[in-house]
Amino acid sequence: MLEKISLQGKFFNCCISVSLSSGEKNGCKSLHSLLVERQRQAEKSVLISCQSKTNEKKLLKYLSRHGDIKRHFFYESYLDRQITSLTEFYQLTEENIRLRFLVCSLLKDIAAAYFPECTVKPFGSSVNGFGKLGCDLDMFLDLDSISGWTTELTKSGLLLEYQMKPANSERAVTQSILSVIGECLDQFGPGCVGVHKILNARCPLVRFSHQPSGFQCDLTANNRVAMKSTELLYVYGKLDPRVQSLVCTVRCWARAHGITSSISGAWITNFSLTIMVLFFLQKRNPPIIPTLDHLQDLAEELLCEFFEFYATFPFNRMSINIRKGQEQNKPEVSPLHIQNPFESSLNISQNVNTTQLKNFVTLCQESSWLLYQSKTMSPKGVAVDSTTTTWGIATLLLPSRVPGIKGHRKRREPASERIKSLLESLKYKTQQKKTKD
């Protein structure tokens, strides 16, 4: 019960039978009497952590049984506010989402030269609810909507069938389709620059920049599994807004420390990281997803526990499996093994090397320690970095003090400008809120 109470993120300060001291002259208290009065108030006050949706009247009535309540105050957790600010700061805006759909529609117009009834759909973080401003635009060319493709009878009773050149495999067909569309984009796509056909990848794609919108785009075809994964993440994100906030915060933290990168390589991808957050939520006792009763009660404590969980996870032996919600023995030797929920023989983090995994674990340990300190050492109950006056989540986004990771940060292109403005924004928002209060 105590654990549950401490997870609320909102505090209810209830002062019981406060008796004020006198000692004023002409309504003006001496410093001494002011201090005495405040100390007496403090001695007769209790701080109670409770659920954010607690019925105030009921609680006061209950507490009145134990004594007279002179005054009471509600406090909100600062860390909780920071997580919300961070999510709001980064999340995709309505106009940005519309622009993403518009680019899909433009792409469709180009692809329609070859496949008249095709559609181009966004997937991944543009639509799964975990997108950050500046994230890439993942699209897939859907040929299932072509009426002849599925050989359905039209109203007239006539059957329209597109003839395809026989090919060796579905993969070969996908590669050919993307090859011609890539060519077309390169030659005639308005505003499409830097077109690269990456056809030998496990999932063949055409990568390009769409200059008018500023989006980095990945176009795939025949990629239904990715659409399923997108839906899975979307559903989990919708179960409770705090799932989204936790994923967003962990993603920001990982980006700030070079655990993830916009360049493909041996880094942990945002997709893998999101699955790791979901797995952690499933493994909590009691599980957070899909049974979300407890999520109501959780705020920033989840972040702390997330770091603890992965700081000690037996990555050397175990695989992460969100289908079962259980870790399982690794079927292969990859440093990080996260089973693909829809293609169980595949590892979605196959690309991650030992160094990257080690960086991730070390940062989890460090961040868990920072948050632990926030609970035990800071007078306000938040993590404070005395050199920069940042605190809480913002402290977690500062450069790591772990030597190896610091070196790594120096080499990579720092996200420092964005992080700096984010820190400013967090400070500003907190300041604003304090002024309002």
Binding site for ligand GTP (CB under 6 A): 123-125, 128, 131, 135-136, 138, 225-226, 229-230, 269-271, 340, 342, 348
Q: How far is the CB of 271 from Mg ion (least distance, A)?
A: 8
Question: Quick one: what does residue 271 bind among ligand GTP, Mg ion, none, with the CB cut-off 5 to 8 Å set by partner type?
Answer: ligand GTP
Q: Which is nearer to Mg ion, 12 or 215 (CB)?
A: 215
The CB-nearest residue to ligand GTP is 124
CB of residue 407 vs ligand GTP: minimum separation in angstroms?
A: 24
Q: 348 touches which of ligand GTP, Mg ion, none (CB within 5 to 8 A by kind)?
A: ligand GTP
Q: 261 touches which of ligand GTP, Mg ion, none (CB within 5 to 8 A by kind)? A: none
- Choice between 81 and 251, CB closer to ligand GTP: 251
Kindly state the smallest distance separating residue 111's Cβ from Mg ion, in Å.
20
* 76/136 with CB nearer Mg ion: 136
**Smallest distance, Mg ion to C-beta of residue 250, A:** 16
Which of 138, 240, 301, 308 forms a contact with Mg ion (CB under 5 A)? 138
CB-based burial label for 116 (10 Å; 0-12, 13-18, 19+): exposed
| Residues 96 to 125 in contact with Mg ion, rule: CB under 5 A | 124-125
Residue among 91 and 179 whose Cβ is closer to ligand GTP: 91
Q: Which is nearer to ligand GTP, 254 or 298 (CB)?
A: 254
Using CB under 5 A as the binding rule, whether residue 136 contacts Mg ion is answered as yes
Q: Which is nearer to ligand GTP, 144 or 424 (CB)?
A: 144
Question: Which of ligand GTP, Mg ion, none does residue 192 bind to, with CB < 5 to 8 Å depending on kind?
Answer: none
Size of the site for Mg ion (CB under 5 A): 4
Of 81 and 257, CB closest to ligand GTP: 257
Can residue 217 be called a binding residue for Mg ion (CB under 5 A)? Answer: no
Partner from ligand GTP, Mg ion, none binding residue 225, C-beta < 5-8 Å depending on class:
ligand GTP
Residue 230 contacts which entry, Mg ion, ligand GTP, none (Cβ below 5-8 A, type-dependent): ligand GTP
Judged by the rule CB under 5 A, the positions of this chain that interact with Mg ion are 124-125, 136, 138
